Amino acid sequence: MLEQNYDFGYSSNKKRKTSKIILFSFLFLIIAYLGACLVFYQLSQDKNLKAYQSLNNFRPDLIAVFTGHSGRINLALKIAKKYPQARIFITGVNKKNTLDTLMEAFDLQTAPKLLDIDYSARNTVENGISTLRMLRKNPHLKNVLIISHDYHLMRINLIMNKLRAENENYEFHFLGRETNYSNIRNLKILSKEVIKLVRTYFLFLFWSPG
């Protein structure tokens, strides 16, 4: 009988230790994840700041907009006014939209002279594929400005470097619409983007261009 009580006490202590290990592991993962989000945020902000600074010495042949959240097309049209020679390529457009509806939405009196819309892309990797298809059909386009949100730039950079062939000498610059992180919704987007970046990295470990 005493032996049974001893076994019972030992089992309870073991369960408590296991529960503590699980709890501390969970807390460690949360802290590590929040730290990764903070580092990611800082790197994104630095990259976007450098992108704005580099525009002084960069004249894009193509301005590509990776659609998703609002404000990206508007930023692209604003930037395009400084570079009237640049072609505009909007990838990932909803099939319900046309050039006319886009003009109406952004209060454009006349459409930019060279504006192309892509309906096929459903995610960021497909945005990259569509942009490279556009570039390959127009070999005179070499300097490319890709516009999205600031938190999105690191993943786009990774994708474009992985997708393009070794002999393709495009010069990519990335410019992001600034995000207000006092908004809870935007903090959630930032945290999800960290996961998406890691997932994309591992995707390309097994990626075969062919």
Residues 119-145 pLDDT 10s: 999 999 999 999 999 999 999 999 999
Q: In the CATH hierarchy, which fold is given to the domain comprising 34-205?
A: Rossmann fold (3.40.50)
DSSP 50-86: HHHHHGGG---SEEEEE-SSTTHHHHHHHHHTT-TTS
Q: How far apart are CA 124 and CA 14, in angstroms?
A: 47
pTM over 0.85? The answer is no
Section 77-90 average pLDDT: 87
Band (23; pLDDT cuts 50, 70, 90): confident
Residue 81: predicted pLDDT: 82
Least confident of 30-44, 112-126, 136-150, 180-194: 30-44
Angle (deg, nearest 10), helices 124-137 and 184-205: 60
Mean pLDDT of the chain: 82
